[in-house]
Structure 1
Amino acid sequence: MPEDRYHDRKSSPQSRFCGHPGGAPAIPVFDCEATMSRSYLHVPVSATSWGVRVRFDRRFGPRATNANSIPIDPGLKAWTIPQKYLDLVTHHHLCAVSLGIKMDGALAVYQDHRVLALAVISGITAIVMAWLRLDRRLDTIPGPKGYPLIGIGYQLPPKAPALFRRWAMEYGEVFKIRVGWYNWVVINSPEAIKEILEKQAVITSSKAPSPMGHDIVTGGNRMPTMPYGSHWRALRSVIRQITTVPMTATFVPTQEFETKQMLFDLATDNDNDRNFYQHMRRYAFSIIMTNTFGTRIKSLDHPAVQNAIRSQAILRRTSRPGAYLVDEIPPLASLPTWLQPGRRDAQAAAKEVLDIKLDIWHELEKQVTSGEAPHCYARQIYESKESWYAQGLTEEHLIWVSSGLVEAGFETTAATLNSAILYLASNPEVQKKAQEEFERVLEPDRLPTFEDLANLPYVRACVKEVLRMNPILAPGIRHFAEQDVVYKGHVIPKGTVLLANTAFLHFDPERFEDPLAFKPERYLDHTLYSSEYAAMSDPYKRDHFTFSTGRRTCPGARLAENSLDIALAGIMWAFDVRPPLVNGVEVDMNVGDDSYLDTGFTIPKPFAARFIPRSEERLGIVKKQWELAQQDGYELRGEQVDVDGIVQ
């Protein structure tokens, strides 16, 4: 018998793939046993995968038509049908497989028929499994009805924050929805946050499975999408060692230095009323990049910036709801890899992202080896890598956690600063109050410093109000229940998505008077850091939930607040932020939901704003301070560095 037509393999309990050595595609045959009867080959097939049972048979032999006849080897238990038969069989008989009826032909997926097979199998599978996942224990929790099986849809609808805010008003402190494959319980009160996400954190700190967006694209290494477990806890301990209060204090010289360049850039490079948007991004990126990798960013043209932006764009695209069907219906991950839609895209994204991360890690290795690496977080992680390996981490884990610090601190800080500019331009009375505070506290001939912030409660209140109005994750912070959760007699089943609904928590009219208005004075008595309020036993003393909650609380929250406080203090000290002019008239600023990008992150669309120096004297101080800063450099983790971040 010609070997290029038949290939014998042993059966496996689950499935086997009968492939043609000459190049014909493999045919998946499930629980297949071939038996001979005279000159016929009788092949019963039982497929139990995905909860659907199918039985069918096919007879080849003398009674078959010439077009279908295939020579039979009595010893065959697995086979490859030549292409001419595949074309005929798959063309006529593929659709019947997942319906559980008799079908002439093997369970084959071939060339362009793969899409049709996947659609049929996926559709039947999704329906059956969705019904199996219905849990009547959720009946005690109110919520909108939605559509059968998929609830409100396979992903969150546009303008979800406003919708979730309305549902919270209607249904109370917890409500349920179904979003595609998953049941969700949406949490709308600080008390429920405390009881569910903090007191039961050991079972509510995970993330929903993401076979493509997390497992493939990130190799399972990205902390924001990583399930709660030993690896997550080990990586968290890496970050905690470098984001302690004393370690955060070492950022201060960098933050003050970058503020001086940012103010200079606003004074000299915003003639088009739009460049400020990128100056905020450079400021945020340089702070986190300098302290993480020892690389100062003087301009957004720096290759590290472009690589980081490219990496973040890929991660946002691949982690957004609906990016991959397999992430919306995780059991599809049990399909053969060549049947999984989007897998090639995910693998390509994984390679591109990892290549970017490896480039900067290898550059750090060279600097450490040559003794040129400045003191920075990544160097500290690299030099301690053997101790982390002993805890079960790999080099790839350390690469991801190091670059993850940059990803977490870059766009979030920049987006919050640009949101602040949007609100300041819309509220000149807020700026006036802050400027009156400067007059009381500061001498007129110097910029505000970190030492001044304790005496500038209104300025810090402005930052807290921006964080309340625009939490970076919209409509909230997702967790995942790994076991059944009990709250006030309700049972929230294992496998439920838990959402801390900041779209309502930050706009609850019972907690915030006139919640849609920008009123920093509501935070005048909140003089502590957000992390300090989060540690209090009374959840109603929380200032906001922007930095998450429970074991998923952002470890860099204090660092982020410092960057925001000093930047906003400098801006309001030096400038009046005003709307742009059209025909000599100031336009109204749009601060509504449609002024933000539809990305799942609260990032304002690029907009125009003017930065008018409050006086020639202040403008001169801004320019002089930057001139001196360039000459003197600054201190980075105890070492003096120059304007390029090079150790002197």
Structure 2
Amino acid sequence: MQHPYHHTEYPRRRIAKQTNAISRLRLNTSQHVAYPPKLTEHPAHDTSNNLLEMGYHMESLTAVVLHPNLSPSFISLAMVVIGSIYVLWQNYISRDVGAKNIPSGPIGLPIVGSFPFLTHYPELTLDYWAKRYGPMYSLRLGNQLFIIVSDPIIAKDLMVTNGAVFSSRKEMFLKSQTIFAGRGITATPYNEKWRKHRRIASYWLNKTAVDSYTNVLDYEATVLVRDLYTYGKAGSDPINPQPHAGRCSLNNMLTIAFGIRTDSLDHPLVARALKLSREFMNCTGPVSNLTDFVPLLQHIPNFMTTRGKKLHADLVETYGGLIKEVEVKMKNGEDVPDCLVKTILQTQQEEELDFTDMAILCSAFMIGGVETTASIMQWFSALIPAYPDIQQRAHEELDRVVGRNRLPTVEDEKDLPYIRGIIKEVERCHNPFWLGTPHFGTEDFAYRGHLIPKNTVVVLNTYTMHHDPRRHPEPFAFKPERYINDSTLSSESANLSDAMERDHWMFGAGRRICPGMWVAEREVFLAISRMLWAFKMVEIPSEPIDLKEYDGLSGRSPVPFRIKMIPRHDKVDDVLGI
């Protein structure tokens, strides 16, 4: 029997979006496709089919830019022009690869490179190319050279051991320059501004800080479980847990950043903040938009630039507005809880922060903190109903260690290895970010007989790394027991000397590793352990959950679903205070 998690083949329905315009195929949406169309290889591999491939790409590009009712002479002229561009492109790439010994990979199309093949399910395309070209290969998006890393050893060699070379960021036009206005700890180059923002954020995200506000995470996890109980009418009604998980994560970050929280799902800030986070993820993934890689598009009006400018304005209005509210309270002598904004307002002159600096710092803080943890809780809720045996084993462990008269706490985590295994396995199987935030090489670097040129973008292909059978036997099976003897936190596992022993790569690597790992791990443990303590989570037979589809282009979350969350013993309502 195939595991519900297994998803080597994705629905052709969405793959069609990327291939229809290119190949003019009429696809049957009831079929499935495992891998993307073939692209030409770099000359280092095989040039025997170049003429055939050129004809394919000429037809493809013509299909994109020409109307079928145009005259034959016009189409012929266009084919000649497109063919000429293609030949020039191949010659350019051939010289680039041959002269510099850059790792091989797909050439892609003229002008846009491999971009059209990465607009939907990019993780499957990159996984296919990793199997074809190896664990380190190159591709181009527009004028930008990328190196795709699909192996833990190589990832550590480049991003940890040689972090001095690969710890910067490319100043992407949309993310860095437009949305974050040259600021933001996830987007700025490795410079003094980044160090300053990282230091401020880390002050509120390190282990000591997390210990100081664990009571906040504890409270919001309890509210989450209580709301799931109430909205689901004690298991009698189906419920979509997704908005509740989103609000839980949002409240944690609002408390840490601004000293406030929302009191219900209907609070206007809930929908607004979650929408901003999703919009940011859809605009700014490593391969989300072509504007970053075709400079001409940056100088003419286009949809993505307009979208980025609006998102910048919305972020400054929303989170800048919350900063102003805290500032007014402080000026009026009102009590303001210790929080990120209180700190940056008190040190604004010392740190030389202007208003936009503060608004973007808080925006990055909120987006990063909300999207990851909420998505993991959502994937857990979508996945676990298919595994009643795993739930049963988790319930037995909770009853043995915690009992039924109280909720699990942080102190219980070390004694709940199976719960920890479930969480790690969800993070392995459903990393919200299959493509890590891109690193940027600041100098030429020779590695394993290849050259990674200066100004190359280096991206972790975590989908392939998380499904590597050398590290994870039966990689498409959901098996929490694979982590049963792993007592490390993910923040500790990231520092293991043997990269092949690391639990997963969800938080990135090297000097740019996610500074919020400590808070994310604690938040997720409290939420998931308490959901398992309180509920038996059951799939609705008439509403099967599709784990192959997902929402989002960069940050991934399940498509909307409903389940029943049935209290599993008679102490649940008493312990929750209902």
Query: Which band: TM-score by shorter chain?
Result: 0.7 to 0.9
* Aligned partner of 2:284 among 312, 316, 319: 319
Partner residue, 1:105: none
Indicate yes or no: 2:488 matched with 1:528. yes
Partner residue, 1:289: 254
The within-5 A match list for 1:188-203 is 188-203=150-165
* Aligned partner of 1:589 among 545, 550, 575: 545
CA distance in 2, matches of 1:323, 1:540: 29
CA distance in 2, matches of 1:310, 1:567: 22
Partner residue, 1:462: 422
Deviations 1:222-268 (A, max 9, x none): 22222222211211111122222111112211111112211111112
Indicate yes or no: 2:345 matched with 1:385. no
Shifted more, 486-495 versus 128-137: the winner is 128-137
CA distance in 2, matches of 1:514, 1:309: 35
Deviations 1:593-634 (A, max 9, x none): x2x11421121111111101112233332235xxxxxxxxxx
CA distance in 2, matches of 1:471, 1:477: 13
Shift, 1:369, TM fit: 1.7
Deviations 1:457-510 (A, max 9, x none): 111111111111111213344212222122112111122221111011111011
Deviations 1:513-546 (A, max 9, x none): 1111111111112212111121232222211110
CA distance in 1, matches of 2:287, 2:494: 32
| SS class of match (2:164) | helix
Deviations 1:37-87 (A, max 9, x none): xxxxxxxxxxxxxxxxxxxxxxxxxxxxxxxxxxxxxxxxxxxxxxxxxxx
Indicate yes or no: 2:173 matched with 1:219. no
Indicate yes or no: 2:561 matched with 1:601. no
CA distance in 1, matches of 2:418, 2:268: 38
CA distance in 2, matches of 1:340, 1:432: 53
CA distance in 2, matches of 1:345, 1:380: 31
| SS class of match (2:488) | coil
Q: TM-score, normalised by structure 1?
A: 0.71
* Aligned partner of 1:276 among 230, 241, 253: 241
Are the equivalent residues in 2 in contact too, given 1:168–1:174 (CA < 8 A)? yes
Unpaired segments of 5 or more residues in structure 1? 1-119, 625-648
CA distance in 2, matches of 1:477, 1:348: 22
CA distance in 1, matches of 2:202, 2:414: 25
Indicate yes or no: 2:91 matched with 1:165. no
CA distance in 1, matches of 2:392, 2:574: 21
Shift, 1:395, TM fit: 3.5
Identity, in percent, stands at 28
Name the amino acid aligned to 1:589: I
Shifted more, 158-167 versus 189-198: the winner is 158-167
Partner residue, 2:466: 506
* Aligned partner of 1:264 among 211, 215, 226: 226
CA distance in 1, matches of 2:269, 2:349: 27
Shift, 1:212, TM fit: 3.6
CA distance in 2, matches of 1:131, 1:245: 50
Partner residue, 1:623: 577
CA distance in 1, matches of 2:106, 2:176: 30
Shift, 1:295, TM fit: 0.6
Q: 1:540 to 1:382 in 2, by over 3 A?
A: same
Q: 1:415 to 1:347 in 2, by over 3 A?
A: closer
CA distance in 1, matches of 2:230, 2:573: 10
Shift, 1:326, TM fit: 3.9
CA distance in 2, matches of 1:354, 1:537: 41
* Aligned partner of 1:362 among 324, 345, 348: 324
| SS class of match (2:177) | helix
CA distance in 2, matches of 1:468, 1:322: 21
CA distance in 1, matches of 2:496, 2:296: 40
Are the equivalent residues in 1 in contact too, given 2:408–2:526 (CA < 8 A)? yes
* Aligned partner of 1:496 among 452, 456, 459: 456
Q: Which is helix-richer, 1 or 2?
A: 2
**Higher relative contact order at CA 8 Å, sep ≥6: structure 1 or structure 2?**
2
Shift, 1:375, TM fit: 1.6
| SS class of match (2:239) | coil
Unpaired segments of 5 or more residues in structure 2? 1-80
Name the amino acid aligned to 1:297: T
CA distance in 2, matches of 1:302, 1:617: 30
* Aligned partner of 1:143 among 101, 105, 123: 105
Are the equivalent residues in 2 in contact too, given 1:426–1:588 (CA < 8 A)? no
Are the equivalent residues in 1 in contact too, given 2:278–2:371 (CA < 8 A)? no
Are the equivalent residues in 2 in contact too, given 1:479–1:498 (CA < 8 A)? yes
Shift, 1:560, TM fit: 0.4
Partner residue, 1:234: 196
Partner residue, 2:390: 430
| SS class of match (1:225) | coil
CA distance in 1, matches of 2:474, 2:101: 34
Are the equivalent residues in 2 in contact too, given 1:138–1:176 (CA < 8 A)? no
CA distance in 2, matches of 1:279, 1:208: 35
CA distance in 1, matches of 2:445, 2:257: 38
Q: 1:275 to 1:557 in 2, by over 3 A?
A: same
Indicate yes or no: 2:338 matched with 1:375. yes
| SS class of match (2:253) | helix
CA distance in 1, matches of 2:281, 2:500: 32
Indicate yes or no: 2:138 matched with 1:183. no
Q: 1:457 to 1:484 in 2, by over 3 A?
A: same
Shift, 1:387, TM fit: 2.2
Name the amino acid aligned to 2:347: S
Q: 1:428 to 1:230 in 2, by over 3 A?
A: same
Partner residue, 1:330: 295
Q: 1:148 to 1:219 in 2, by over 3 A?
A: closer
Are the equivalent residues in 2 in contact too, given 1:413–1:560 (CA < 8 A)? yes
Shift, 1:313, TM fit: 4.2
